[in-house]
Amino acid sequence: MTRPANSPRRSALYLPASNGRAIEKARSLPADVIIFDLEDAVAPGAKAQAREALVDAFAQSGFGHRETVIRTNEIGSEDYTLDLAAIARCRPTAVLLPKVSDVAQVEQFVADAARAGLAPDIASWFMIETVAALMNLPAIVAAGRRAQPALSCLVVGTNDIAKETGVSPDNGRACLVPWLMSIVLAAKHHQVSVLDGVWNDFKNMAGYEHETRQGRAMGFDGKTLIHPTQVALANEVFSPSEAALADARLIVRAFEDPIHANAGVINLDGRMVERLHLAQAQRLLAVDQAIRAATGG
């Protein structure tokens, strides 16, 4: 299934592919993205059953406006090869590859995807969650953009980064921020989406809100989630505010005035507004329009 242009990725909810009840509930959740997990969330002895359950679920009624993504097991593993065969039958929007750490893995995935017969319109998403990935990030993203299936989104694996490096995720992720920002920068440079990592303590909504708003301020496009109760806040935080939309409309109208047809900068109610602000305003309005179109708002 091809993703419509500018579709929102504010909330991306992980669900175990082995949990049929959760999969059925996903058809009515307000999440923008559902990530069906065949990796960490499924026990080794349950992976074959999970793949078949996922194929059956996709064969039934669809998931509405929600973007569907399937996370595989690690590249090169036996389960990964079987995962790709199942994904070819499911035809989701994208395949999410865990622990992508170098260009060789990207090249291997391209060959494996062709052998598995993945649909030509499927996209690839990469988990950035290892030290090697952080070191090789520019080359990985560039290779992903050249690849087929083409890279369309980076997903941060903060838990694995913290585990592998020994760096504490506490204190507002202060020690992780430089790496998180490097991932955001690579995504923006190559014009792909980038999603923040999960908040583990889903009962601590105050902490979750703080980290979600931090992610928005850092430039992330959305947040990955582990519980349905986290969806509403992510959608709210990563949606343009009414005040920002009103200001964007004001800027667009000002530049549409014939007297400003050739102006590079204008005086708008006592502030200087340049054409770069016009471009930002137009992007914001496009995001809002895409959200409304996707969710029926």
Among 109, 164, 106, residue whose Cα is nearest residue 134: 164
Q: Measured between alpha carbons, how far is 81 from 59 in angstroms, rounded to an integer?
A: 21
**How confident is residue 297, by pLDDT bands cut at 50, 70 and 90?**
low
The pTM (predicted TM-score) of the whole model is 0.92
Residue range 228-246, pLDDT digits in tens: 999 999 999 999 999 999 9
Q: Residue 266 pLDDT more than 60? A: yes
Cα distances from 211 to residues 14, 274, 293, in angstroms, run 18, 32, 27
For the segment 254-261, the average pLDDT, to the nearest whole number, is 90
* Averaged pLDDT of the chain: 94
pLDDT score recorded for residue 171: 94
Cα distances from 149 to residues 119, 144, 146, 166, in angstroms, run 9, 8, 9, 33
Q: Residue 2 pLDDT more than 80? A: no
Which domains does the chain carry? 11-237 (3.20.20.60), 242-295 (no CATH)
Q: Residue 49 pLDDT more than 80? A: yes
For the segment 28-33, the average pLDDT, to the nearest whole number, is 95
% of residues, the chain, pLDDT over 70: 98
pLDDT score recorded for residue 295: 76
Q: Measured between alpha carbons, how far is 148 from 42 in angstroms, rounded to an integer?
A: 27
Phi, psi of 18, deg, nearest 5: -85, -5
DSSP strands (E only) in the chain: 11-16, 33-37, 67-71, 94-97, 123-128, 151-156, 193-196, 222-225, 265-268, 271-274
pLDDT score recorded for residue 265: 94
Tokens of 53: 């359950």
At residue 14's C-alpha, the angle toward residues 202 and 161, to 5°, is 75
Residue range 174-229, pLDDT digits in tens: 999 999 999 999 999 999 999 999 999 999 999 999 999 999 999 999 999 999 99
Q: Residue 6 pLDDT more than 80? A: no
pLDDT score recorded for residue 261: 83
**Most confident option among 3-12, 127-136, 238-247, 266-275:** 127-136
DSSP symbols for 9-59: -SEEEEEETT-HHHHHHHTT---SEEEEESSTTS-GGGHHHHHHHHHHHHH
β-pairing, 271-274 vs 265-268, is antiparallel
β-pairing, 193-196 vs 222-225, is parallel
Burial status of residue 297 (CB atoms within 10 A of its CB: 0-12, 13-18, 19 or more)? exposed
Q: Residue 3 pLDDT more than 70? A: no
